Structures are given as structure tokens and as C-alpha cells.
A and B are shown apart, each in its own frame.
Chain A
């Protein structure tokens, strides 16, 4: 205990020092580029993530164009993309590159780095009462490794043979053999190198988040007084630190197979008229390594959204989050189970059925903590007094999407059903709703809620409401009908369905989905516009605590400098969710417990 106190002392000391320093020599470079202020690093992650989101979203618009209009040609595409769109038609190689990069970008660069990177950096020190991260230097490096990964991945879009095109899951042998696909030439090496840099970034960030949460909490901020955002970000970081290294090992072994003639994943291959010498490797081994990260990754994406939605729902319901301890418990259960279910992605690989049955059981077990969370959110809304800020709307949207997408997980986790639904549009619908769109909703909720703290200004409300309504309606219109395509067995990652008697009847639906996807993409541009416009021109925040929230970040100045608090870091006397207690609308964490206060 004394250790923790000492660390806190030194952190306070450090904060004052840096604050002192900033008056003297803070240049443009140290303030905006190589900044060590967690708030600036958070903004760097957010804006880089937003740029990637536009690119990844644009890719989806392009491949939806092909899926919606497989018979048409668009001459302007050839002007834009050259031989990738010969004759105004997106070529199959390019289609698969688009699909692959869309997945890679959205899963890793936007919903991992963009989401965790932004909110873990921004909220952890502010909500636990710390001047900065445990190691601001590593924190800065974490961003710059991400930046390096981004540059490498971006450059892979411009190599002659094209970027990686074997799907974001990069299963070998397809990803290992340049002879099997042009995207598996230099584009794949760049993909793997970029991901290695990305994993370094993620580990630096994760270790920092964990040590900051464990060691730098302010006086009185016991673990069970922390806001649920911090709990969620904590488990997210633990998941990342324990699972990303496994993907790194997989990526390195794959690089060896590609370039050094090893046979970790290759055996008995005859490709493009060549008999390869590799024998004894296992293509399935890679899938185990990949999904050992890949499944926790789903929760790395989802947990921050859960945490932020919990916080935002409670604040705007003016009610305590229902079952705070159960919420932590279910986060914990999800984090543990996340490591024990990876093979449910591999039911069709010829997995030992007995082994498979354990993965079925453990997978469906995740539904229990998920159900607890959903019912707790619903009970939080019950008899509340709800303010529909844009953040709150997105948090409610998150719960709705989490229910819709979570329930289809019960189909897919059950191996016998998964056999039919595996790799069909049912899966596409499931994971886009539950981890794609739902996590985006959590992220939007977070941006709308904490934008005033980030920039001291508000986002435009009307644009925000338009953004919300177009996005939630659009998301359901895009992904709900896909379940039917999946039930009909329609495989994902198909460039064209017109040659298939069994699948061609969905052409009209595919066109409809493509049109809605373009509208939803346009609505996201509206959000981007709102974001950048409001940084400079938004309505100014005039009160320190605009939402009437209990947590510590609202006790800082409206635009906190490096070090966050002027003077002492406030002490904490209670949990984060005393809303509506004893007839009072809210009681900040910094307020001492009164003598007559009721116990609960």
C-alpha cells in the first residue's frame, strides 16, 4: 500500500514539474507532434483513426459498388484506379484487396488503435486522477509505432502487385505463396511488417494503461470506485498484452515461410504448375495462432465501447449504473472466456469433434455475462430521467446493436449450426453488427460525450442527431437482410454471384444494400465535417461540468493543460455513480460522504 502511495506522490510531483516546464520550452513540435501529454496523444490516435476510417469506409463503398452493380461499368473508376478497374469494372484481384484492407483497417487501425488508443489515453489519467500516464515517453512511442505501421500499410496500397488480398485473416498457404495470388507478393510482406509495428504499438500502450491504472490512482480511488470505462479499458489492455504477442509470433513464422524457405504452415503443395518442396507443416496451425489473438481482439474492440456506454447511460439517465459490481464481474468473465473460445472460428477445419464440443460450451457461456450486461443497462434506464444528448443516443444505439448482433452469436457458437452458416453472409451480418457498428456507436458516444473535455467546445447538435439517425437506420437496413442471404448459404467474399443458381436471386437486395451503404458513408463524412469544424468554431463550453457528471475529468479546468489539475489532484470519497441519491441529482466523487447520507 505504501508503495502505491509513494508512486502517487511521485506522480503528483512529476505532474507539477511538467506543468512548470511547459511555461518555458514547449514548442509546436513538442506540443502537437512529439507530445508526451496523454490528451494530445489521444487526439493523435483519434484523428489518425478517423483518417483510416474514411479510407476503410471508402473501400467498402467501392466493393459494394461491385456487389450492387455486377453488370455495370463505371468509366470514371478506370480514370481513378487504372488497371485495377479495367474497362470501368473493379477487377477480382482488386476486389479481394479492397475486402482485405477494409477488414484490416477497420479491425486494427480504427477499432483497436483508434478506439482504445484514443479513450484509454484520454480517460485513464483524467478519470483515475493522475497527471499523466505511468510512462509518457512509452506512450508517445506507442503512437509513433502506430504511425509507422500506418505508413507501411498505406504504402502497400501503391505497390505494383497490389496490397494483401487473402482476407484480413491472412490464412496461409494463400498468404504465403506469391504464386497463388498477386496480393501475396510484396503487399503481404508489407502487411506483416506493418502489423508487427502495430503490435509493438499496442503492447507499449497496453502495458502503460495497466501500470497507470494499478499504480497512479489518486487518494481514495480504490479499484471498486473506478468508473466502468476504466474497468473496461483495463481488461482491454490485459487482453491485448496477453494475446497480441501470439499474433506477432504467427506473423514472424509466416514471414519465414514466405522468405526463408521454412515449412511451418506449408505442406504438400502443387501451385501454378510447380511442386513445392515444403513438407510437414500445418496450415491449420496458423489459424490457431491467429485466432488466439483474433478472438480476444473482438473483445479488445468491444469492451471499451461497453465501458463508455455504461458511463454515458448512467450519467444521462441521472441514475446509478445498475449492478456496478455485476458489471465488473461480467467484464472479467468476458475477458477470461475470450481466451478460451478461439477455435469456434475453426469448426469447419476438421477440428477434433470432442475438442470442438468444449469450444461450443465455452462460447455459449459468454452469452451469460453478456445477458447480465444487457439487463443491467435496461434496468438503468428503468424509472430514469433521460436526457438524449447525442452521446446518450449512440449509447442506446450501442445496446440495441449489441443485443441484435449478440443473439446471432448463439447460432454461430453452436458448432452444428455453424457448419451451415460458417463463411456466409450470416457471419458478415453478425460481426458487423456486434463488433463493427456497435463498437463504432460506442466510439461515437465517447467522442460526443468527451469532445467538450478534449477541445473545450461542443459539437453541433443538429448534425449529431442527423448523424445518429441516418447511421442507426442505415446500419439495420444494411445488415439485417444479410441474415437471410446467409441462411440461404450465400458465401461471403464473392466478387460476383450471377453465375450461381443458388445465390443469384439476391441481386436486387445487394443493390439496395449498396445504396444504403453509400448514404451511411456520406453521413459519416457529415460527422467528420462536424468534428473538424467544431474544434475551431464550435459553441464554447462555459461550465466545468456540462453534463453534471460525477467523475474526476470534470473537476479539471475546461481546457486542462499538461498535468491536468492546477494544484493538488482532488481526493476521492465515493464511487462514480451516485446519481439521484438522497434526492440529489448527482454527487461528484470528490464530495466527502455526509454524516446523514444513506448507505446502500
Chain B
């Protein structure tokens, strides 16, 4: 019932507006069309200048409301991110000036040069000097922005330092998996055709480097103030590792590994203070549409002190033992066929 009422009201509003519009057409015929046209002209000129003034106030107001909700007040959480913020400020400054000047000119001219019987339009078809002026000035400004931009672009896409902590990030519908290379600092080889059951990443366990690799889901731990390198890939469709707080982003493409690196500057705890939000977490958002669960493909990064990171790492079990539980050093045998292969001491210890 309620929606019918709503529809009825909307239709009524339409009919009323439409009738008013038709009536105003008749009125203008009665008044003399030329006179009505001139009156309309004045009204619209006035509305245009009002739109400019209210619009600029609105821009200010909007900034007041939402600036605090952007990421600027808390600052970027990575070294490269801080440079990008600086660049954003510069670009906002330059474009902001151009925005205000051109919009003011547009609406001010429209208002000032509205039709007036006492004035004739000024015949001014071209002026080479002026045209050269506004070809070269933007070109100079843009050159500056390009130089700035490329400097940081090459910095952020440069090779990661040799001592960087390496984490492999894998996206699949609709979650993130992380793999650490373990003590040998080498990630074991993978082959997607080996993906089966508990070996959900398709790790090739014939590669000795894979035996100490650690696999965790959803939450990643990294140390603060140390370069971190992500090796990124995807299992099914394209995903994207979006790190808004670090100002970084990189696609995860099946079959084509990508990388990115950064140096986190603040631990999660420090960011809780900086952002004034006790629930603050670094989130990984998937930034490339990947199917119906795209919006829920969330990962968490815990940035912590080097000591905490080491402690956390020490409590993690290599993936090899989760995939082959019976090979684990302190495994409790579930299958009698395994008993024969167990060392005697272990058999005694297990009480069989």
C-alpha cells in the first residue's frame, strides 16, 4: 500500500510540474514571447551566478565535512606513500587554482555578458598571442607534474632491496593467502596443476625450498621499518592487492606473477593512535572486480615491531606439515600403516 501511495505522489508531482510548464507557455504567448524570453534570460543569468557562488561555498563545505574522513589527516603509512601524498597536495593545489579561475570566468562571463539591447557582441574571432599563451602555460605546468610523477613512479617500481622481507600473496575467489619463505629465505616452486586438497596453493613439495615455507590465510604479519616485498599472483581470475594506507596497489593475474615493495612506517598499534580509531586495521581490499564476492575479499595486515614479528613467525608451522600431517615431527599417527615407519623412540613416546 505504501509504495502505491508513493508512486501516486510522484505521479502527482509530475502532473503538477507539467501543468505549470504548459501554463507558463500560454502566459508567455499572452505576455508577448519576446518579453517572456528576456525575462527568462535574466532569471537564468542570475541563477548561473548564484550557482557559482553557492557551488564554491558547497565545495568548501564538502571539504569541511569529508576531509577528515580521507586518509590525509592520519598520513601515509609507507615511505613511498608519503611522497605520493606530497604529490597529491601539489596536484590538488595546481588543479584547484585552475578549477576556481576557469569556473569563475565561465559563470561570471555568462552573467555579465547576458543579453542586453544596449550592447552588441564584440567581434573577436581569434588572437594568436592569446592562443599561444594558453598552449604554453599549461604545457609548462604539466611538464613539472610529469617530472615529479615519473620520479616517484620509477622509485616505486624499482627493484626491492635485497634484505626485504618476502611474502607471496595469492588471490582466489574470495580470499587472500600468504606464504613466507621460511628460514632458507626461498619460496618453494609452485605448479597450479598440483593444487589438490590441503595443498591449496599447488606447492611443489619435491622442491626442498618448499619444506620450510609457511602458509597463512587472511591475516599477514610484517615487521615495521623494514622493506617488504610482495610476490603477487592469482589462482582463478584477476584480483588486485589494494593497500590504501600504504598508497599501493597491484594486480594479481593468473599465470603472470607481479611484485611490489614498500617500507611500512607505523605499526598497527601506532596507527590506532594516529587515526584516532581504536579499531584501526590495515586492510587489503580487492580492487579488481572478481565475481559476486568481490566486495568481501578482505585481508588484514598486522604491522608490528621486529621482535613481535619474529615471535609470531616462530609459532607458525611449515605448510609441509599441514599438507602431510604424518610427516610432522610431533605428529600423532592416525594410520597404522605409518607406525612401521616411525622411529622407535616415537613409538614408545606415543604409547603403542
Contacts and interface: CB of A to CB of B under 8 A. Distances in A.
B146 A364 contact: yes
Interface string B230-253: 000001111010101101111101
Contact of A378 (B91, B102, B248): B102
A501 B280 contact: yes
A325 B135 CA distance: 14
B263 to A, nearest CB: 16
Given A270-B195, A348-B249, A506-B69, A420 B84 contact: yes
Q: Which of A319, A349, A502, A530 has the most CB of B within 10 A?
A: A502
Contacts of B150: 357, 360-361, 415-416
B288 A423 contact: yes
A494 B295 contact: yes
A173 B17 CA distance: 49
Interface stretch (A118-126, A199-207, A462-470): A462-470
B290 A371 contact: no
Contacts of A323: 125-127, 131
Contact of A423 (B72, B240, B259): B240
A525 interface: yes
Interface in B83-110: 83-84, 87-88, 91, 94-95, 98-99, 102-103, 105-107, 109-110
A283 B238 contact: yes
Interface in B108-161: 109-110, 113-116, 119-127, 130-131, 134-135, 138-139, 142, 145-146, 148-150, 152-154, 156-157
A419 B84 contact: yes
Contacts of A533: 18
Given A387-B115, A487-B72, A367 B142 contact: yes
A269 interface: yes
A275 B193 contact: yes
Interface stretch (A213-221, A227-235, A248-256, A400-408): A400-408
Chain B interface bracket (under 10, 10 to 19, 20 to 34, 35 or more): 35 or more
Given A174-B291, A393-B44, A491-B285, A322 B125 contact: yes
A374 to B, nearest CB: 6
Q: Which of B193, B235, B255 has the most CB of A within 10 A?
A: B255
Contact of A180 (B70, B237, B281): B237
Given A181-B291, A393-B44, A497-B295, A271 B235 contact: yes
A422 to B, nearest CB: 6
Interface stretch (B47-55, B204-212, B303-311, B325-333): B47-55
Interface in B295-317: 295-296, 298
B322 interface: no
Contact of B51 (A173, A472, A481): A472
Contacts of A536: none
Contacts of B258: 349-350
A577 B124 CA distance: 11
A180 B154 contact: no
A465 B71 CA distance: 39
Interface in A487-505: 487-489, 491, 493-497, 499-503, 505
Interface of B: 3, 10, 14, 17-18, 20-22, 24-25, 28, 37, 40-41, 44-45, 47-48, 51, 55, 58-59, 62-63, 66-67, 69-72, 81, 83-84, 87-88, 91, 94-95, 98-99, 102-103, 105-107, 109-110, 113-116, 119-127, 130-131, 134-135, 138-139, 142, 145-146, 148-150, 152-154, 156-157, 172-173, 192-193, 195, 202, 235-238, 240, 242, 244-245, 247-251, 253-256, 258-259, 277, 279-281, 283, 285-296, 298
